[in-house]
Amino acid sequence: MFQLFKTLLDKVNDGLAAAPASKLSYGLSEPELACVSLMLMVAHADFSRDDEEQALAQEYVKREFLLSDTDAKAVVALADKQASDAISLHQFTAQLKQLSYEARLALLDSLWQQAYADGVLDPNEEAMLRKIADLLFIRHGDYIQAKLAVCGS
Protein backbone atom coordinates (compact mmCIF):
# COMPACT_ATOMS: atom_id res chain seq x y z
CA MET A 1 0.00 0.00 0.00
CA PHE A 2 2.80 2.40 0.91
CA GLN A 3 4.58 1.63 -2.38
CA LEU A 4 1.41 2.39 -4.36
CA PHE A 5 1.06 5.74 -2.57
CA LYS A 6 4.74 6.55 -3.20
CA THR A 7 4.38 5.68 -6.90
CA LEU A 8 1.36 7.97 -7.23
CA LEU A 9 3.20 10.83 -5.52
CA ASP A 10 6.20 10.34 -7.79
CA LYS A 11 3.97 10.55 -10.87
CA VAL A 12 2.32 13.73 -9.60
CA ASN A 13 5.69 15.29 -8.77
CA ASP A 14 7.05 14.36 -12.20
CA GLY A 15 4.09 16.16 -13.75
CA LEU A 16 4.73 19.24 -11.64
CA ALA A 17 8.42 19.40 -12.46
CA ALA A 18 9.32 22.45 -14.48
CA ALA A 19 9.53 21.59 -18.13
CA PRO A 20 12.23 23.29 -20.13
CA ALA A 21 10.99 26.40 -21.89
CA SER A 22 9.94 25.17 -25.30
CA LYS A 23 10.15 27.53 -28.22
CA LEU A 24 6.93 28.64 -29.84
CA SER A 25 6.39 30.29 -33.17
CA TYR A 26 9.14 32.63 -34.31
CA GLY A 27 11.58 31.14 -31.79
CA LEU A 28 10.02 32.74 -28.68
CA SER A 29 9.47 30.81 -25.46
CA GLU A 30 6.32 31.06 -23.32
CA PRO A 31 7.92 33.55 -20.88
CA GLU A 32 9.14 35.72 -23.76
CA LEU A 33 5.67 35.80 -25.28
CA ALA A 34 4.29 36.54 -21.80
CA CYS A 35 6.49 39.67 -21.66
CA VAL A 36 5.07 40.92 -24.94
CA SER A 37 1.51 40.12 -23.82
CA LEU A 38 2.04 42.09 -20.61
CA MET A 39 3.29 45.03 -22.65
CA LEU A 40 0.10 45.00 -24.68
CA MET A 41 -2.09 44.62 -21.60
CA VAL A 42 -0.46 47.74 -20.15
CA ALA A 43 -0.83 49.55 -23.48
CA HIS A 44 -4.55 48.80 -23.59
CA ALA A 45 -5.24 49.48 -19.90
CA ASP A 46 -6.32 53.01 -20.84
CA PHE A 47 -8.97 51.53 -23.17
CA SER A 48 -7.38 52.97 -26.28
CA ARG A 49 -5.20 51.58 -29.03
CA ASP A 50 -2.52 54.01 -30.13
CA ASP A 51 -0.18 53.52 -33.05
CA GLU A 52 2.76 54.63 -30.88
CA GLU A 53 2.12 51.82 -28.40
CA GLN A 54 1.84 49.18 -31.12
CA ALA A 55 5.00 50.48 -32.79
CA LEU A 56 6.89 50.39 -29.49
CA ALA A 57 5.83 46.79 -28.88
CA GLN A 58 7.00 45.81 -32.37
CA GLU A 59 10.33 47.59 -31.88
CA TYR A 60 10.78 45.81 -28.55
CA VAL A 61 10.16 42.43 -30.20
CA LYS A 62 12.52 43.21 -33.09
CA ARG A 63 15.28 44.41 -30.75
CA GLU A 64 14.97 41.77 -28.01
CA PHE A 65 14.37 38.71 -30.18
CA LEU A 66 16.12 39.78 -33.41
CA LEU A 67 13.08 39.32 -35.63
CA SER A 68 12.20 40.81 -38.99
CA ASP A 69 9.45 43.41 -39.35
CA THR A 70 7.02 40.79 -40.62
CA ASP A 71 7.78 38.32 -37.83
CA ALA A 72 7.67 41.05 -35.18
CA LYS A 73 4.27 42.15 -36.42
CA ALA A 74 3.03 38.54 -36.27
CA VAL A 75 4.39 38.05 -32.73
CA VAL A 76 2.71 41.27 -31.55
CA ALA A 77 -0.56 40.11 -33.12
CA LEU A 78 -0.26 36.75 -31.32
CA ALA A 79 0.59 38.45 -28.01
CA ASP A 80 -2.27 40.91 -28.52
CA LYS A 81 -4.67 37.98 -28.91
CA GLN A 82 -3.31 36.40 -25.71
CA ALA A 83 -3.62 39.72 -23.87
CA SER A 84 -7.21 40.19 -25.07
CA ASP A 85 -8.15 36.65 -24.01
CA ALA A 86 -6.40 36.91 -20.63
CA ILE A 87 -8.43 36.49 -17.49
CA SER A 88 -5.78 37.82 -15.13
CA LEU A 89 -2.19 39.00 -14.94
CA HIS A 90 -1.24 35.84 -13.06
CA GLN A 91 -1.13 33.68 -16.17
CA PHE A 92 1.75 35.82 -17.44
CA THR A 93 3.52 36.84 -14.24
CA ALA A 94 3.63 33.29 -12.87
CA GLN A 95 6.03 32.37 -15.67
CA LEU A 96 8.19 35.45 -15.11
CA LYS A 97 8.78 35.15 -11.35
CA GLN A 98 11.63 32.76 -12.10
CA LEU A 99 13.61 35.45 -13.92
CA SER A 100 16.50 37.13 -12.14
CA TYR A 101 15.68 40.32 -10.27
CA GLU A 102 17.62 42.35 -12.84
CA ALA A 103 15.62 40.79 -15.69
CA ARG A 104 12.35 41.57 -13.90
CA LEU A 105 13.51 45.19 -13.44
CA ALA A 106 14.39 45.42 -17.13
CA LEU A 107 10.92 44.12 -17.96
CA LEU A 108 9.36 46.71 -15.64
CA ASP A 109 11.36 49.45 -17.39
CA SER A 110 10.01 48.26 -20.75
CA LEU A 111 6.48 48.20 -19.37
CA TRP A 112 6.84 51.78 -18.08
CA GLN A 113 8.06 52.87 -21.52
CA GLN A 114 5.06 51.12 -23.05
CA ALA A 115 2.64 52.88 -20.68
CA TYR A 116 4.16 56.26 -21.47
CA ALA A 117 4.57 55.71 -25.24
CA ASP A 118 1.64 57.99 -26.03
CA GLY A 119 2.99 60.72 -23.73
CA VAL A 120 0.21 60.26 -21.18
CA LEU A 121 0.29 58.08 -18.07
CA ASP A 122 -3.26 56.89 -17.53
CA PRO A 123 -4.20 55.96 -13.94
CA ASN A 124 -5.32 52.52 -15.17
CA GLU A 125 -1.92 51.89 -16.72
CA GLU A 126 -0.18 52.96 -13.52
CA ALA A 127 -2.42 50.72 -11.41
CA MET A 128 -1.73 47.77 -13.68
CA LEU A 129 2.00 48.38 -13.47
CA ARG A 130 1.77 48.45 -9.66
CA LYS A 131 0.01 45.07 -9.72
CA ILE A 132 2.55 43.60 -12.11
CA ALA A 133 5.44 44.86 -9.96
CA ASP A 134 3.86 43.29 -6.88
CA LEU A 135 3.28 39.98 -8.67
CA LEU A 136 6.91 39.96 -9.85
CA PHE A 137 8.16 40.72 -6.32
CA ILE A 138 9.77 44.01 -7.31
CA ARG A 139 10.57 46.32 -4.40
CA HIS A 140 8.50 49.49 -4.21
CA GLY A 141 11.58 51.72 -4.33
CA ASP A 142 12.67 50.09 -7.60
CA TYR A 143 9.13 50.48 -8.97
CA ILE A 144 9.25 54.22 -8.21
CA GLN A 145 12.74 54.61 -9.68
CA ALA A 146 11.63 52.91 -12.90
CA LYS A 147 8.59 55.19 -13.09
CA LEU A 148 10.66 58.34 -12.54
CA ALA A 149 13.22 57.26 -15.13
CA VAL A 150 10.52 57.10 -17.80
CA CYS A 151 7.90 59.64 -16.72
CA GLY A 152 9.99 62.11 -14.78
CA SER A 153 7.20 62.71 -12.25
Q: What is the pLDDT of residue 153?
A: 58
**CB-based contacts of 46: which residues, under 8 Å, 6+ apart?**
120, 122, 124, 125
Q: Is 60 exceeded by the pLDDT of residue 32?
A: yes
If we measure between CA atoms, which residue out of 122, 146, 141 comes closest to residue 50? 122
Q: What is the pLDDT of residue 23?
A: 62
pTM of the predicted protein model: 0.78
If we measure between CA atoms, which residue out of 144, 25, 137, 17 comes closest to residue 36? 25
